[in-house]
Each structure stands twice: as structure tokens, then as C-alpha cells.
Amino acid sequence: MVHAAGAMREEFFSRTIPLGTRIAAVESPFNFIDHPDASIFFDLEPDPDNREFYQRLSPLPVIVNSVIDGLSAYRYLPNIARINAWPGMINRSILELVCKDPLTTKNIEICLNKMTWNYRFVPDIPGMVSARMIAMIINEAYFALGEKVSSREEIDIAMRTGTNYPLGPFEWASRIGVGKVLQLLQKMNEENGRYNIAPALLEEVQISA
């Protein structure tokens, strides 16, 4: 079962779904009552206020789109796992997941193996792996922009053609949302002061607020 809407829902269903696998899309996580036979629940638009509801679903694995906040935001509920489902991430070849409970990890592995989806469990840190890397690349691009090294368009072209990235840093920022990128960088800076935030990025977030 998956709770998602709009582009997030389209991206999720763009993944290959094997024959015999039934995925129900719901408008609200509380629609789970209509699907009591579900073996896994993806909440790609989660609300921390739903923690008690998630707990009632135990031992059903609940995979929440929580890129910035760690499992502590969900009180380390044993049936909760995190997934990196920022725009452009959910349909990548390898899903990034965080889970600390052995039983929940095993149940997730059983479900994803049946779906033939590749995945990797990563540390419970803000941004996991890919989002941290992309946020830092975006931040450096904003430093370059602020220092007038080049234009947005030229920086994007250079990254796409020079590194074979699918998107340039400003294209990633637009797709993800500069506000989310800033939040992640701020979290990363709290744990390690080396992640200085580009003034041009801060300015853009303030203008768009």
C-alpha cells in the first residue's frame, strides 16, 4: 500500500512492478483499514502526528519518506523505516532505506525481494547518502553562482556533460525545492560545522518564502 499524490505517486508507479504484485494507492494513511491484507506500507507524504497510528499497524513495516529527520522523530517505533523519496530519488535503481529493528528489516527485505527492487540499508543520519551528496553539490553550485564564476545554465550543463549527472545542481534544487535543501544542510551543519551554507542559497530561500 502506498500513500502518495501527484508527481510523487507518478514517480513511485514508474518503477517496475512484477506480475502478481498488487499495490493499492490510498488518499490517506488511515485508508489502511480498507486493505487489511497489505504486507508493507509506503507513506511518502508522512505526518509525525500519525505516530500512534503507525504504532497500531505494528508489526506491519511502515516506510516513511523522512529524508531529513531520523528515526527519533518517530520515537524509534520498531516497525518504522525511513526511505529517501525526495523527487527524483524514488525511481532510482537502488532505494535507500534506514531501519534499526531486525524483524522489520527482515520483513522489508522479504517484500522488496519479491518485488525485485534493489535497495540498500544506510545509517540513520540526515539525508542518508544520496541526498547529502546532492545537497553539498547544490550548495557548492550556489557558492559559484554567488561568486559569479558562471551562470546557472552553464553550471548545470557543465555538471551534466562533465560528470554525466542526470541533472545539474540547479535543476536538482528546483525539483527538490531549495527550502528542503537548506533544511538538510542546516541539519548537517548542526552535526558538523564544516557545512557552511552558500549566501546565495540562503538569499534564494528567503526570497521564495
Report the CATH number that the domain containing residue 10 is assigned in CATH: 3.40.50
The whole-number pLDDT of residue 34 equals 78
pLDDT, tens digit, 9 for 90 and up, residues 61-108: 999 999 999 999 999 999 999 999 999 899 889 999 999 999 999 999
Mean per-residue pLDDT over the chain, rounded: 92
Contacts of 183-192 spanning 24+ positions with Cβ under 8 A = 183/68, 184/67, 184/68, 184/126, 184/127, 184/131, 184/132, 184/135, 185/135, 185/136, 185/139, 187/68, 187/126, 187/127, 188/126, 188/127, 188/132, 188/135, 191/125, 191/126
Yes or no: say if 97 and 63 are a contact pair by the CB < 8 Å rule: yes
Yes or no: say if 168 and 155 are a contact pair by the CB < 8 Å rule: yes
Choose one of 64, 98, 121: the last residue of a domain. Answer: 121
Same domain flag for 54 and 114:
yes
Q: What is the pTM of this model?
A: 0.91
- Number of domains observed in the structure of the chain: 2
Same domain flag for 163 and 62:
no
Q: Which three cell numbers stand for residue 125?
A: 543520519
State the sign of the Cα–Cα–Cα–Cα dihedral 171, 177, 180, 186.
positive
The whole-number pLDDT of residue 179 equals 96
Q: Which domain holds residue 28?
A: 2-121
Same domain flag for 79 and 182:
no
pLDDT, tens digit, 9 for 90 and up, residues 12-46: 999 998 888 889 898 888 887 778 888 999 999 99
Same domain flag for 70 and 139:
no
- Find the Cα–Cα–Cα–Cα dihedral 148, 154, 160, 162, rounded to 10°: -80
The whole-number pLDDT of residue 165 equals 84
Same domain flag for 46 and 140:
no
**Residue 191: which pLDDT band, with cuts at 50, 70 and 90?**
confident
Same domain flag for 13 and 92:
yes
